[in-house]
């Protein structure tokens, strides 16, 4: 009974990453949720069974003759096609068109599955369910790691996921050892149940190790230069922000407050985006630094007349929320020819939102400071009015 419970826990841990994206956006009411893939567990379950049916004869027949060689080649080709289908079904939409990446991941999946099946094949040849579980565990670990890396945008949230996986691996490993099992059984002498538990545990350990390795790779770059342009923040489509597009973004101010504002994208760089912010506050007394935007020309993009701040702001990629539309061509042509579109003054200091403590907080899927729209101007920081914002 203990072995069955341990096996069930390990299977659930391996299957969880296949259910959907691992991380959620900062504002769940404002961004789309990470793309779910409800068919991924079914695809892996059926695909792993088919892969076992195709790989099993290859190990049994072998490349012993011309006829057997051709049979094995055909079976391996079919196995690669099944693996490619599983990789595509579990990959996010933005990566489905990358043929080279899909091909590399397919090759990795096939090699790992074949490497696991080779020493265990003699023990599971008479127990199809055992063979299917071995293939499923290996396939779920490889594809689950790919999904975690694909959806693990915020590094410190990814670290939390990695620590949970490591903790579960340690607990289940101790449980298996305490109940008389072993994590390194001899394939020629161990029972099928012992082999299955060992394969499940090592699959979870491999998934945990992959998460742990991915964290510093993401975190070091994030803390040095800020949130990257790729992969896309969870739930944000389309991506990346196109030049001339109008987006809603969290615009950080010098006093560490931030507010959701429409912004016009001017230029993308590897580490941030140059934008012009839109405000609804009347700026008629400061026409030299602002451009009047009339609702009649911005229908469907803005909800009221506004003013475009001609001082360029730098926004991290993680602060983009959703796309509102396109900047009218007349306004864009005017912006390209205006001499008063200017960079931030050097006397104002570095752009807000790019200090180390901001990058550290954003890696946790959080924000430094407070939301200027949810805190009353005449109240302290703890006084908040009711949440009434709705998506435009």
Task: Give all domains of the chain, ordered by start, each with its CATH number.
Answer: 2-225 (no CATH), 245-363 (2.30.30.110)
- For helices 356-363 and 192-225, the axis angle rounded to 10 degrees is 150
pLDDT of residue 276: 93
3-state SS, 12-57, equals HHHHHHHCCCCCCCCCCCCCCCCCCCCHHHHHHHHHHHHHHHHHHH
Residue 7 has, within 13 A of its CA and on its CB side, a CA count of 18
How does the average pLDDT of the chain come out, rounded?
81
pLDDT of residue 380: 38
Q: pTM higher than 0.85, yes or no?
A: no
DSSP assigned state of 317: G
191-196 CB contacts, 8 Å cutoff, 24+ apart: 192/123, 192/124, 192/127, 192/130, 193/3, 195/120, 195/123, 195/124, 195/130, 195/134, 196/7, 196/130, 196/133, 196/134, 196/137
Q: What are the pLDDT tens digits along the chain (392 aa)?
A: 667 787 788 888 888 887 765 566 665 445 555 566 667 788 888 888 888 888 878 877 776 777 778 888 898 999 999 999 999 988 877 787 788 999 999 999 999 988 887 776 655 555 666 677 788 888 989 998 888 888 788 899 889 888 998 999 999 888 888 887 788 887 667 777 787 888 889 889 999 999 899 899 889 999 998 898 888 887 777 888 999 999 999 888 888 888 889 999 999 998 899 999 998 888 877 767 888 999 889 988 998 889 999 989 999 998 898 889 999 999 998 888 877 788 877 676 778 878 888 899 889 888 887 777 664 444 333 333 333 333 33
Give the three-class secondary structure for 183. Answer: coil
CB 204 within 8 A of CB 138: no
Q: Is 110 exposed, middle or buried (0-12, 13-18, 19+ CB in 10 A)?
A: buried
CB 159 within 8 A of CB 221: no
- Cα 121–124–129 angle (5° rounding)? 130
Give the three-class secondary structure for 224. Answer: helix
pLDDT of residue 388: 36
The span from the CA of 389 to the CA of 144, in Å, is: 36
Helix (H) or strand (E) holding 184: none
Give the three-class secondary structure for 314. Answer: strand
**Backbone phi and psi for residue 163, each to the nearest 5 degrees, phi listed first:** -65, -40
CB 207 within 8 A of CB 165: yes
Q: Is 363 exposed, middle or buried (0-12, 13-18, 19+ CB in 10 A)?
A: buried
Task: Determine if the peptide bond prior to 255 is cis (ω within 30°).
Answer: no
User: What are 325's strand-pairing partners?
Assistant: 246
């Amino acid at each position: 009974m203990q072995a069955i419970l341990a096996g069930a826990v390990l299977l659930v841990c391996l299957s969880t990453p296949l259910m959907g994206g691992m991380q959620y956006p900062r504002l769940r009411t404002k961004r789309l949720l990470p793309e779910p893939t409800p068919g991924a567990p079914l695809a892996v379950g059926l695909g792993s069974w088919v892969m076992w049916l195709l790989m099993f004869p290859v190990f049994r027949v072998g490349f012993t003759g011309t006829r057997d060689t051709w049979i094995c080649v055909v079976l391996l080709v079919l196995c690669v096609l099944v693996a490619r289908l599983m990789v595509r079904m579990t990959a996010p939409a933005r990566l489905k068109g990358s043929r080279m990446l899909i091909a590399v991941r397919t090759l990795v999946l096939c090699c790992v599955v074949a490497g696991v099946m080779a020493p265990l094949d003699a023990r599971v040849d008479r127990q199809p369910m055992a063979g299917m579980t071995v293939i499923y565990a290996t396939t779920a670990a490889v594809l689950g790691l790919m999904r975690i890396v694909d959806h693990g945008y915020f590094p410190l949230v990814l670290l939390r996921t990695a620590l949970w996986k490591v903790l579960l691996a340690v607990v289940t490993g101790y449980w298996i050892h305490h109940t008389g099992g072993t994590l390194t059984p001899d394939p020629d002498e161990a029972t099928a149940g012992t082999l299955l538990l060992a394969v499940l545990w090592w699959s979870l350990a491999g998934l945990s190790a992959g998460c742990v390795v991915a964290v510093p790779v993401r975190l070091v770059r994030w803390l040095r230069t800020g949130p990257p342009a790729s992969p896309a923040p969870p739930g944000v489509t389309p991506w990346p922000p196109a030049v001339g597009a109008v987006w809603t973004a969290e615009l950080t101010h010098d006093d560490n407050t931030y507010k959701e504002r429409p912004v016009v994208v001017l230029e993308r760089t590897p580490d941030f985006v140059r934008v012009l912010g839109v405000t609804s506050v009347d700026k008629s007394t400061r026409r030299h630094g602002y451009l009047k935007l009339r609702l009649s020309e911005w229908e469907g993009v803005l909800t009221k007349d506004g003013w475009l701040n001609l001082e360029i702001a730098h926004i991290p990629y993680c602060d983009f929320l959703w796309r509102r539309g396109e900047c009218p061509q007349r306004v864009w042509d005017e912006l390209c020819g205006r001499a008063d579109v200017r960079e931030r003054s050097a006397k104002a200091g570095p752009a807000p939102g790019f200090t180390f403590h901001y990058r550290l907080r954003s890696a946790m899927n959080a924000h430094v400071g407070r939301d200027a729209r949810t805190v009353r101007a005449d109240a302290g920081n703890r006084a908040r009015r009711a949440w009434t914002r709705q998506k435009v």
